[in-house]
Protein backbone atom coordinates (compact mmCIF):
# COMPACT_ATOMS: atom_id res chain seq x y z
CA UNK A 1 0.00 0.00 0.00
CA UNK A 2 1.57 3.27 -1.03
CA UNK A 3 1.99 5.95 1.55
CA UNK A 4 -0.54 8.66 2.26
CA UNK A 5 -1.29 11.20 4.94
CA UNK A 6 -4.69 11.29 6.60
CA UNK A 7 -6.80 14.11 7.98
CA UNK A 8 -10.26 13.81 9.53
CA UNK A 9 -12.75 16.48 8.47
CA UNK A 10 -16.00 16.03 10.39
CA UNK A 11 -17.49 19.34 9.18
CA UNK A 12 -17.64 21.29 5.91
CA UNK A 13 -15.56 24.09 7.45
CA UNK A 14 -12.80 21.72 8.54
CA UNK A 15 -12.83 20.08 5.09
CA UNK A 16 -12.37 23.34 3.15
CA UNK A 17 -9.72 24.42 5.69
CA UNK A 18 -7.81 21.18 5.04
CA UNK A 19 -8.25 21.59 1.27
CA UNK A 20 -6.79 25.09 1.44
CA UNK A 21 -3.88 23.83 3.52
CA UNK A 22 -2.91 20.78 1.45
CA UNK A 23 -3.60 22.22 -2.01
CA UNK A 24 -2.70 19.97 -4.92
CA UNK A 25 -1.84 17.07 -2.62
CA UNK A 26 -5.31 16.97 -1.12
CA UNK A 27 -7.66 14.18 -2.04
CA UNK A 28 -11.17 14.06 -0.65
CA UNK A 29 -12.37 10.60 0.35
CA UNK A 30 -15.79 9.49 1.54
CA UNK A 31 -16.77 5.90 0.67
CA UNK A 32 -13.40 5.21 -0.91
CA UNK A 33 -14.85 3.13 -3.74
CA UNK A 34 -12.74 5.06 -6.27
CA UNK A 35 -10.03 6.63 -4.14
CA UNK A 36 -8.85 3.50 -2.33
CA UNK A 37 -8.78 1.58 -5.60
CA UNK A 38 -6.78 4.39 -7.23
CA UNK A 39 -4.30 4.35 -4.36
CA UNK A 40 -3.82 0.62 -4.84
CA UNK A 41 -3.30 1.21 -8.56
CA UNK A 42 -0.76 3.96 -7.68
CA UNK A 43 -2.81 6.56 -9.56
CA UNK A 44 -2.82 8.54 -6.32
CA UNK A 45 0.61 8.82 -4.72
CA UNK A 46 1.88 10.68 -1.65
CA UNK A 47 -1.45 12.44 -1.29
CA UNK A 48 -3.26 13.59 1.80
CA UNK A 49 -6.62 11.96 2.23
CA UNK A 50 -9.21 14.27 3.72
CA UNK A 51 -11.88 12.05 5.23
CA UNK A 52 -15.30 13.65 4.70
CA UNK A 53 -17.33 10.47 5.27
CA UNK A 54 -18.88 11.72 8.51
CA UNK A 55 -20.14 15.18 7.44
CA UNK A 56 -23.81 14.55 8.24
CA UNK A 57 -25.03 17.89 6.82
CA UNK A 58 -24.12 16.76 3.28
CA UNK A 59 -26.17 13.55 3.39
CA UNK A 60 -29.64 14.99 2.92
CA UNK A 61 -32.18 14.70 0.10
CA UNK A 62 -34.78 17.47 0.26
CA UNK A 63 -37.65 18.71 -1.89
CA UNK A 64 -38.98 22.26 -1.56
CA UNK A 65 -40.96 24.42 -3.98
CA UNK A 66 -40.40 22.15 -6.96
CA UNK A 67 -36.67 21.91 -6.34
CA UNK A 68 -34.67 18.84 -5.30
CA UNK A 69 -31.39 19.08 -3.39
CA UNK A 70 -29.06 16.13 -2.87
CA UNK A 71 -26.07 16.39 -0.53
CA UNK A 72 -22.79 15.31 -2.09
CA UNK A 73 -22.25 12.66 0.58
CA UNK A 74 -25.61 10.99 0.03
CA UNK A 75 -24.88 7.32 -0.53
CA UNK A 76 -26.24 5.60 -3.64
CA UNK A 77 -28.38 3.31 -1.43
CA UNK A 78 -30.29 6.34 -0.10
CA UNK A 79 -30.96 7.61 -3.63
CA UNK A 80 -32.06 4.11 -4.72
CA UNK A 81 -34.62 4.05 -1.89
CA UNK A 82 -35.68 7.72 -1.90
CA UNK A 83 -39.35 8.47 -2.59
CA UNK A 84 -38.39 12.06 -3.48
CA UNK A 85 -35.97 10.89 -6.17
CA UNK A 86 -38.38 8.22 -7.42
CA UNK A 87 -41.07 10.84 -7.89
CA UNK A 88 -39.09 13.87 -9.05
CA UNK A 89 -36.11 12.34 -10.88
CA UNK A 90 -36.93 8.81 -12.10
CA UNK A 91 -33.82 8.78 -14.30
CA UNK A 92 -31.54 9.20 -11.27
CA UNK A 93 -33.62 6.71 -9.29
CA UNK A 94 -33.14 4.12 -12.04
CA UNK A 95 -29.40 4.78 -12.23
CA UNK A 96 -28.99 4.32 -8.46
CA UNK A 97 -30.90 1.05 -8.63
CA UNK A 98 -28.54 -0.50 -11.20
CA UNK A 99 -25.40 0.94 -9.61
CA UNK A 100 -22.61 -1.48 -8.52
CA UNK A 101 -24.07 -3.75 -5.80
CA UNK A 102 -25.90 -3.20 -2.49
CA UNK A 103 -22.78 -3.31 -0.30
CA UNK A 104 -20.82 -0.90 -2.52
CA UNK A 105 -23.87 1.35 -2.66
CA UNK A 106 -23.64 1.80 1.10
CA UNK A 107 -20.20 3.36 0.67
CA UNK A 108 -20.32 5.08 -2.72
CA UNK A 109 -21.62 8.67 -2.78
CA UNK A 110 -23.16 10.73 -5.57
CA UNK A 111 -20.56 13.47 -5.02
CA UNK A 112 -17.82 10.90 -5.49
CA UNK A 113 -19.38 9.52 -8.65
CA UNK A 114 -19.63 12.99 -10.20
CA UNK A 115 -16.28 14.23 -8.84
CA UNK A 116 -14.53 11.15 -10.21
CA UNK A 117 -15.95 12.21 -13.59
CA UNK A 118 -15.65 8.84 -15.29
CA UNK A 119 -16.98 8.73 -18.85
CA UNK A 120 -19.13 5.85 -17.59
CA UNK A 121 -20.19 7.36 -14.24
CA UNK A 122 -23.78 6.18 -13.90
CA UNK A 123 -25.24 9.20 -12.07
CA UNK A 124 -23.84 11.77 -14.50
CA UNK A 125 -26.13 11.41 -17.58
CA UNK A 126 -29.25 11.59 -15.33
CA UNK A 127 -27.94 14.78 -13.69
CA UNK A 128 -27.23 16.19 -17.16
CA UNK A 129 -30.79 15.74 -18.41
CA UNK A 130 -32.06 17.12 -15.10
CA UNK A 131 -29.96 20.24 -15.82
CA UNK A 132 -28.49 19.88 -12.34
CA UNK A 133 -26.34 22.53 -10.73
CA UNK A 134 -23.13 21.46 -8.98
CA UNK A 135 -22.55 23.50 -5.81
CA UNK A 136 -18.92 23.94 -4.84
CA UNK A 137 -17.42 25.48 -1.73
CA UNK A 138 -13.95 26.66 -0.79
CA UNK A 139 -12.43 29.15 1.64
CA UNK A 140 -12.67 31.65 -1.21
CA UNK A 141 -16.44 31.30 -1.37
CA UNK A 142 -19.28 29.39 -3.04
CA UNK A 143 -19.58 28.61 -6.74
CA UNK A 144 -22.29 27.05 -8.89
CA UNK A 145 -21.53 25.19 -12.11
CA UNK A 146 -24.09 23.54 -14.40
CA UNK A 147 -23.33 19.81 -14.58
CA UNK A 148 -23.30 20.13 -18.37
CA UNK A 149 -20.21 22.36 -18.07
CA UNK A 150 -18.61 20.64 -15.08
CA UNK A 151 -16.81 17.73 -16.69
CA UNK A 152 -13.92 18.62 -19.02
CA UNK A 153 -12.76 15.13 -19.93
CA UNK A 154 -12.55 11.65 -18.41
CA UNK A 155 -11.54 12.17 -14.78
CA UNK A 156 -11.16 15.95 -15.03
CA UNK A 157 -13.65 18.58 -13.85
CA UNK A 158 -13.68 22.35 -13.38
CA UNK A 159 -13.40 21.81 -9.61
CA UNK A 160 -10.38 23.70 -8.28
CA UNK A 161 -8.05 21.79 -5.92
CA UNK A 162 -9.29 23.78 -2.91
CA UNK A 163 -12.98 23.24 -3.67
CA UNK A 164 -15.37 20.52 -2.59
CA UNK A 165 -18.76 19.57 -4.02
CA UNK A 166 -21.37 20.20 -1.33
CA UNK A 167 -24.62 19.38 -3.10
CA UNK A 168 -26.59 19.17 -6.33
CA UNK A 169 -29.86 20.93 -7.11
CA UNK A 170 -32.36 20.51 -9.93
CA UNK A 171 -36.02 21.07 -10.65
CA UNK A 172 -38.52 18.26 -10.33
CA UNK A 173 -38.69 16.38 -13.63
CA UNK A 174 -40.95 13.33 -13.41
CA UNK A 175 -40.77 12.69 -17.15
CA UNK A 176 -37.22 11.37 -17.24
CA UNK A 177 -35.82 7.90 -17.87
CA UNK A 178 -32.53 6.04 -17.76
CA UNK A 179 -31.21 2.80 -19.17
CA UNK A 180 -27.88 1.07 -18.64
CA UNK A 181 -26.22 -1.60 -20.72
CA UNK A 182 -23.50 -3.57 -18.95
CA UNK A 183 -21.91 -6.93 -19.60
CA UNK A 184 -23.59 -8.30 -16.47
CA UNK A 185 -25.95 -7.09 -13.76
CA UNK A 186 -23.54 -6.53 -10.92
CA UNK A 187 -20.42 -4.43 -10.36
CA UNK A 188 -20.25 -3.63 -14.02
CA UNK A 189 -18.84 -0.53 -15.60
CA UNK A 190 -21.35 0.57 -18.20
CA UNK A 191 -20.83 -0.19 -21.87
CA UNK A 192 -23.36 2.55 -22.59
CA UNK A 193 -25.97 4.50 -20.64
CA UNK A 194 -28.67 6.86 -21.85
CA UNK A 195 -30.73 9.31 -19.82
CA UNK A 196 -33.62 11.23 -21.33
CA UNK A 197 -35.96 14.07 -20.43
CA UNK A 198 -38.98 14.54 -22.65
CA UNK A 199 -41.92 16.90 -22.67
CA UNK A 200 -44.73 16.25 -25.12
CA UNK A 201 -47.87 18.16 -25.94
CA UNK A 202 -50.63 16.12 -24.34
CA UNK A 203 -53.11 16.56 -27.21
CA UNK A 204 -50.94 16.25 -30.29
CA UNK A 205 -48.19 14.00 -28.83
CA UNK A 206 -45.59 16.28 -30.37
CA UNK A 207 -42.32 16.65 -28.46
CA UNK A 208 -41.96 20.18 -27.08
CA UNK A 209 -38.68 19.78 -25.22
CA UNK A 210 -36.08 17.05 -24.96
CA UNK A 211 -32.69 16.42 -23.40
CA UNK A 212 -30.61 13.30 -23.94
CA UNK A 213 -27.30 12.43 -22.28
CA UNK A 214 -25.08 9.45 -22.92
CA UNK A 215 -22.40 7.75 -20.82
CA UNK A 216 -19.62 5.37 -21.84
CA UNK A 217 -19.70 6.29 -25.51
CA UNK A 218 -17.32 9.28 -25.64
CA UNK A 219 -14.28 10.53 -23.68
CA UNK A 220 -16.75 12.05 -21.23
CA UNK A 221 -20.53 11.88 -20.67
CA UNK A 222 -22.08 13.84 -23.56
CA UNK A 223 -25.36 15.45 -24.53
CA UNK A 224 -27.11 14.02 -27.57
CA UNK A 225 -27.85 17.40 -29.10
CA UNK A 226 -28.30 16.10 -32.65
CA UNK A 227 -30.77 13.48 -31.46
CA UNK A 228 -32.58 16.09 -29.33
CA UNK A 229 -33.15 18.23 -32.44
CA UNK A 230 -34.79 15.26 -34.21
CA UNK A 231 -37.22 14.66 -31.37
CA UNK A 232 -38.29 18.28 -30.85
CA UNK A 233 -41.28 19.08 -33.07
CA UNK A 234 -41.99 15.46 -33.93
CA UNK A 235 -44.15 12.64 -32.58
CA UNK A 236 -42.59 9.66 -30.82
CA UNK A 237 -43.12 7.22 -33.69
CA UNK A 238 -40.81 4.70 -35.37
CA UNK A 239 -39.76 7.18 -38.03
CA UNK A 240 -38.58 9.67 -35.40
CA UNK A 241 -36.74 6.98 -33.45
CA UNK A 242 -34.95 5.82 -36.61
CA UNK A 243 -33.89 9.35 -37.50
CA UNK A 244 -32.80 10.04 -33.90
CA UNK A 245 -30.75 6.82 -33.97
CA UNK A 246 -28.94 8.12 -37.03
CA UNK A 247 -28.48 11.63 -35.63
CA UNK A 248 -27.09 10.39 -32.31
CA UNK A 249 -24.14 8.85 -34.17
CA UNK A 250 -22.81 12.41 -34.55
CA UNK A 251 -23.07 13.00 -30.80
CA UNK A 252 -20.96 10.04 -29.72
CA UNK A 253 -17.33 9.09 -30.32
CA UNK A 254 -16.70 5.65 -28.82
CA UNK A 255 -13.04 4.76 -28.90
CA UNK A 256 -11.61 1.73 -30.57
CA UNK A 257 -10.07 -0.47 -29.37
CA UNK A 258 -11.75 -0.31 -25.97
CA UNK A 259 -11.87 -2.58 -22.96
CA UNK A 260 -15.56 -3.33 -22.60
CA UNK A 261 -16.99 -3.19 -26.11
CA UNK A 262 -15.97 -2.29 -29.64
CA UNK A 263 -16.86 1.09 -31.09
CA UNK A 264 -19.09 -0.52 -33.72
CA UNK A 265 -21.01 -2.42 -31.03
CA UNK A 266 -21.56 0.78 -29.08
CA UNK A 267 -22.73 2.55 -32.23
CA UNK A 268 -25.16 -0.30 -32.90
CA UNK A 269 -26.72 -0.39 -29.44
CA UNK A 270 -26.96 3.35 -28.74
CA UNK A 271 -30.03 3.94 -31.01
CA UNK A 272 -31.86 1.13 -29.18
CA UNK A 273 -30.93 2.58 -25.81
CA UNK A 274 -31.99 6.09 -26.87
CA UNK A 275 -35.37 4.76 -27.94
CA UNK A 276 -35.85 2.89 -24.66
CA UNK A 277 -34.70 5.80 -22.49
CA UNK A 278 -37.03 8.22 -24.32
CA UNK A 279 -39.95 5.80 -24.00
CA UNK A 280 -39.19 5.39 -20.29
CA UNK A 281 -39.17 9.18 -19.93
CA UNK A 282 -42.40 9.67 -21.90
CA UNK A 283 -44.45 6.63 -20.90
CA UNK A 284 -42.69 5.15 -17.83
CA UNK A 285 -42.04 1.90 -19.73
CA UNK A 286 -40.04 0.93 -22.80
CA UNK A 287 -41.53 -2.33 -24.12
Partner 1 sequence: MSLHEITLKVNGKTHKLVVKSNELLLNVLRDRLYLTGTKYGCGLAECGACTILNGDRSIMSCLVPAVVADGWEITTSEGLADGDKLSPVQEEFINQGAIQCGFCTPGMVVTSTALLRENPDPDEDFIRNYLRGNYCRCTGYAAMIKAVQVAAQRMKEEKNE
Question: Which positions lie near partner 1, rule CB under 8 A?
Answer: 1-6, 8, 31-33, 36-37, 39-40, 49, 51, 53, 100-104, 106-107, 185-187
CA neighbor of 123 nearest in space, from 76, 86, 157, 169: 76
- Rounded Cα distance between 246 and 43, Å, is 38
Nearer to partner 1, 104 or 258 (CB): 104
- Rounded Cα distance between 259 and 191, Å, is 9
Nearer to partner 1, 40 or 140 (CB): 40
Beta carbons of 50 and 29 less than 8 angstroms apart: yes
Nearer to partner 1, 27 or 227 (CB): 27
Sign of CA dihedral 92, 111, 12, 55: positive
Nearer to partner 1, 39 or 134 (CB): 39
- Rounded Cα distance between 15 and 10, Å, is 7
SS3 label, residue 48? strand
Those residues whose C-beta lies under 8 Å from the C-beta of residue 15, and which sit 6 or more positions away, are 9, 28, 50, 52, 55, 164
Q: Nearest approach, Cβ of 105 to partner 1 (angstroms)?
A: 9
Nearer to partner 1, 6 or 83 (CB): 6
Q: Nearest approach, Cβ of 160 to partner 1 (angstroms)?
A: 25
Neighbouring CB atoms inside 10 A of 63's CB total 16
Q: Nearest approach, Cβ of 39 to partner 1 (angstroms)?
A: 8
Q: Nearest approach, Cβ of 18 to partner 1 (angstroms)?
A: 14
Query: Which residues are bridge partners to 168 per DSSP?
Result: 70, 134
Q: Nearest approach, Cβ of 219 to partner 1 (angstroms)?
A: 23
- Rounded Cα distance between 139 and 131, Å, is 26
Nearer to partner 1, 31 or 126 (CB): 31
Q: Nearest approach, Cβ of 10 to partner 1 (angstroms)?
A: 11
CA distances, 70 to each of 1, 58, 165, 197, 269 (Å): 33, 8, 11, 19, 31
Work out whether strand 133-138 and strand 141-146 pair parallel, antiparallel, or are unpaired: antiparallel
Nearer to partner 1, 49 or 151 (CB): 49
Q: Nearest approach, Cβ of 101 to partner 1 (angstroms)?
A: 3
Amino acid sequence: MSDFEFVNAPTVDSAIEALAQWGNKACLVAGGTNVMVDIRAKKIKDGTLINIRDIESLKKITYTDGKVSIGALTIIEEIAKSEIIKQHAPCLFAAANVFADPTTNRSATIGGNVGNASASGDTIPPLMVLNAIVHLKSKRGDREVPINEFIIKNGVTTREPDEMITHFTFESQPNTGFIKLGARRSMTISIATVAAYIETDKQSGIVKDCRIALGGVAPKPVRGTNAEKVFIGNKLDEDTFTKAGEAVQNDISPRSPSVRATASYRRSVVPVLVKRAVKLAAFGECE
